[in-house]
Amino acid sequence: MRLHPISRPITIWAVCLVVLGAGIALGQSGRKQKKTPAQPPVQGVNQPDAKVEPEPVAAPEKPKEKERGQVIMVATDMADISISNYYPDMARQGCLSELRAALSTLELREATNQNRVDAMNIAKNDDRTFVVWMQFEVDRMGGSRGGFDLRYTIFEPKTAKVLGIGSGYPQQPTVGRAPIPVGTNNPAALADWAGRDVARQVLKRLNLIP
C-alpha cells in the first residue's frame, strides 16, 4: 500500500512524538520522589503521646548514725570484811543519781564486785567508757563519819590510764533530799552522800560540769 505524499510527514511527526513522550516518561521515573511535608495535627483530635523516658530516681541517702556520747561506768569493789556489803550499793546508787542529775546526756552503767583488774579491763575494751572504780576501806584513823573511807579511781577509755584518784566524803546535801538531823549517824545515808561527792569530783576531773 502506498502512502499519500502529504500523509508521510504526518506519520513521521507522530512517531517522533511517541518516542519523545516515552523518553520523558522514562526520565521522570528515574527521579526521586520528594517527601510530602508533615502536616500539623488536626485540632480537636487526640494525638498519641510521644514516648517519654522515665527520669532516673536517686537512691535515698542513708541516715546518719547518731553521734555517740561519753559513757561512765560506776563500778564498786567488794567491801572490806569489817564493812557492810550494803555500803557499796548505796554509794554506787548515790554516785549514779548525782551524775544523772548533773548531766542528762551521759550514758551511765554500773557493775558490782569488780576488783581493780576488772575495772581496768572494762576501760580497755571500750573506746568511750570512763570507769569510776570505788572501794570501801575501814577508816583506821577514825577521822571520818561512818568509820569508812570511800576511795575512787578513774580509768581512761581504751588505755585504762589513771585520770584521777581521791576519796568521797559524806557531805549533807542542801537541796533535793531531806536533811538528817545533826548528830545522827545513818550509815546508809553517809554511804550515799560519799558516793555523790565522788560524782561531783569526777565531773570536775573530766570537765563535764554543765
- Model pLDDT for residues 100-142, shown as the tens digit of each residue: 999 888 899 999 999 999 999 999 999 999 999 999 988 777 6
Contacts for 198 with CB less than 8 Å, ≥ 6 apart = 91, 95, 132, 134, 150, 152, 166, 168
| pLDDT in the model for residue 95 | 96
Instruction: Give me the residues paired with residue 133 across strands.
Output: 75, 153
In a domain, 5, yes or no: no
84 within domain boundaries: yes
Across 38-60, average pLDDT: 61
Structural domain contains residue 109: yes
Give the pLDDT band of residue 158 (cuts 50, 70, 90): very high
The whole-number average pLDDT for the span 157-177 is 84
CATH number of domain containing 154: 3.40.50
Beta bridge pairs of residue 123: none
The cell for 149 is 573511807
The whole-number pLDDT of residue 79 equals 84
For residues 75 and 182, which has the higher predicted lDDT (pLDDT)? 75
Number of domains in the chain: 1
Q: pTM here?
A: 0.63
Q: Does pLDDT of 98 surpass 50? A: yes
The pLDDT, as a whole number, for residue 16 is 55
In a domain, 192, yes or no: yes
Residue 34 predicted with pLDDT over 80: no
pLDDT band at 85 (very low <50, low <70, confident <90, very high): confident
207: left (phi over 0), alpha (psi -120 to 50) or beta: left
Percent of the chain predicted with pLDDT > 70: 58
Residue 31 lies in a domain: no
**Residue 15 belongs to a domain:** no
- pLDDT of 184 reads 52
- For the ranges 33-37, 92-96, 197-201, the lowest mean pLDDT is seen at 33-37
Q: Identify whether 53 is part of a domain.
A: no
Domain that holds residue 184: 71-205
User: Does residue 139 lie in a domain region?
Assistant: yes
